[in-house]
Amino acid sequence: MVTGPQPFVRVAAAIIREGSRFLLTRRPDGGRHGGFWEFPGGKVEPGETSEQALERELREELGVGVRVGRLVRRFEHRYEDRTVEICFHEATLMDGAPQPLQVAALAWRRPDEMESLPILPADLVVVDDLARLVGGES
């Protein structure tokens, strides 16, 4: 049972598209939500914007430079032990090829292929959005 206020964490995530596929990363086993897939990104540090956090996180975790685009969606998601405000931004790879430097794995998947993966609950809403987007382009 949770008592008292929950920690509040700000997170930024990148929606990086290649045709009808989107970049996902898998969290290392053993950590918080180990083995779950998510859109790449991470915590927004004090004094950072979500755009700055994405540029830093993707350089650290995947070894790539990105151009962060428009904010696609922002919402709060409540986990058992914390509340997360997550900002999803469109992003474009600018330099380097993604490598799993601080993530367990990475993959390019179509939204319909994501349904079989264990996706973080906070990211599922965006998966549904992308499925409608890609489906509407056919």
Q: Which CATH number covers residue 121?
A: 3.90.79.10
Asked if the structure places residue 102 within a domain, the reply is yes
Q: What is the DSSP letter of 99?
A: -
Residue 1 placed within a domain:
no
Predicted confidence (pLDDT) at residue 2 exceeds the cutoff of 60: no
User: Is 56 contained in some domain?
Assistant: yes
Q: Which residues contact 43 (CB under 8 A, 6 or more apart)?
A: 9, 10, 11, 53, 57
Report the number of distinct structural domains present in the chain: 1
Tokens of 124: 């599922």
Q: What is the pTM of this model?
A: 0.88
Q: For residue 50, count other CB atoms closer than 10 A to its CB.
A: 21
Residues 78-87: tens digit of each pLDDT:
888 888 899 9
Nearest to 68 by CA among 89, 97, 43: 89
| Per-residue model confidence as pLDDT tens digits over 58-94 | 999 999 999 999 999 999 988 888 888 999 999 999 9
Phi-psi region of 47 (alpha: psi -120 to 50; beta: other; left: phi over 0): left
Residue 64 lies in a domain: yes
Model confidence at 3: pLDDT above 70: no
Q: Which domain holds residue 83?
A: 8-136
